[in-house]
Amino acid sequence: MENKIIFGDNLQVLKTISDESVDLIYIDPPFNTGKQQARQQITVEIDADGDRVGFGGNRYQSRVVGEKAYRDQFDDYLGFLKPRLLEAYRVLSETGSLYFHIDYREVHYCKILLDEIFGRESFINEIIWAYDFGGRSKTRWPAKHDNILFYAKDPKRYTFNYEAVERIPYMAPGLVGKEKAARGKFPTDTWWHTIVGTNSKEKTGYPTQKPVGVLRRIITASSNPGDLVLDFFAGSGTVGEVCLALERRFLLVDNNPQAIAVMQARFREHQSIEWVGIDPQTVL
């Protein structure tokens, strides 16, 4: 299988994938927040009476030109996830891994479900992705992290490329000596990384887009060049972008037309990708 993007129901697509044919799965399913996840697209132009103030005190008028959104709510969230995770377990190779990206609202329940499917001994890590951006609650500690659950198909034999992972600076380099400080340290299970900001070059306009840096670390560590990486909640397609850079193959699945439209724009220059269920030349 070469690089492929499928517009369709991910459960039905999963059922067509061969046993133990996927080397790494990363999924970022809807978080079941009960909210409408949305991001507006705007244009701005200089206007003395505009609604925004920019660099040098100039005023600008903004205009909404579009919005990407989806409803993030399920009556039976675990019932929705379970058949998909059972298929994920089936298609993972013997040395394969699953990274399940979720937040504090559902992580405890999802871990119990994953323990049931993979076995508690297959749980390797809970990664905390911490960031510092957005609103600040005055009634509780502001929630500024996501949870990523890392499971291996076989906890005694799975891909983990320790030496290939990019190292990070020590928080107190003076305590470890010049040699260690220059080399940096291997990341722990707490990852500090900014979100995709409104002015970021990575920004696609998709409401729940995840940053390239987080996916690069996962894919570098838990797959090898030429391996097949699956994301069946593909969203903006960040897994595909990272796989192209790291010489991995990918299979992306999503049933949201807005996600497909974002990926069409993101991968416009990559003619080698096979599109299934949609003409890549027809923007949804």
Q: Assign residue 88 the CATH number of its domain.
A: 3.40.50.150
The answer as to whether 284 is a domain residue is: no
For the chain, the maximum distance between any two Cα atoms, rounded to a whole number of angstroms, is 65
For 149, 151, 155, the CA distances from 97, given in Å and listed in that order, are 10, 6, 9
Task: Name every residue whose Cβ is closer than 8 Å to that of residue 237 and which is 6 or more positions away in sequence.
Answer: 5, 204, 252, 259, 262, 263, 266, 267
> Domain residues for 63?
39-70
**Residue 41 pLDDT:** 44
pLDDT for 62 equals 46
Count of domains for the chain? 2
pLDDT of res. 49:
67
The pTM assigned to this predicted structure is: 0.84
Q: How far apart, in whole angstroms, are the C-alpha atoms of residue 109 and residue 131?
A: 23
3-class DSSP assignment, residue 140? coil
Least Cα distance to 255 among 5, 2, 3 occurs for 5
Answer yes or no: do 11 and 129 share one domain: yes
Instruction: Tell me the helix, strand and coil percentages in the chain, rounded to 5.
Output: 30, 30, 45
Q: Give the containing element (helix H, strand E) for 100.
A: strand 92-102
Do 233 and 245 reside in the same domain of the chain? yes
The one-letter amino acid at 182: A
Are 28 and 44 part of one and the same domain? Answer: no
Q: Do 61 and 135 share a domain, yes or no?
A: no
Element (H, E) at 70: strand 59-72
Q: What is the pLDDT along the chain (284 residues), one digit of tens a residue?
A: 689 999 999 999 999 999 999 999 999 998 664 545 344 444 445 566 665 444 345 555 545 444 444 344 557 899 999 999 999 999 999 999 999 999 998 999 999 999 999 999 999 999 999 998 778 889 999 999 999 999 999 999 999 999 999 999 999 999 999 999 999 999 999 999 998 877 788 888 788 889 999 999 999 999 999 999 999 999 999 999 999 999 999 999 999 999 999 999 999 999 889 999 987 666 55
Note the pLDDT of residue 67. 44
Q: Give the distance, in angstroms, between the CA of residue 30 and the centroid of all CA atoms in the same chain.
A: 11
Distance CA 138, CA 136 (A): 7
**Residues 158, 25 share a domain:** yes
The Cα–Cα gap between 279 and 284 comes to 9
Do 55 and 107 share a domain, yes or no?
no
User: Which residues lie across from 22 on neighbouring strands?
Assistant: 92
Whether residue 281 lies inside any domain: the answer is no
Q: Give the per-residue pLDDT at 196.
A: 86
Q: According to the model, what pLDDT value does residue 201 have?
A: 84
Residue 193 and residue 182 share a domain: yes
Integer Cα distance of 137 and 222 in angstroms: 36
Scored b (16 or more CB within 10 A) or e, 7-20 reads bbebeebbeebeee
**Both structure tokens of 240:** 């595909």
Same domain, 128 and 61: no
Tokens of 102: 């979720």
Residue 282 lies in a domain: no
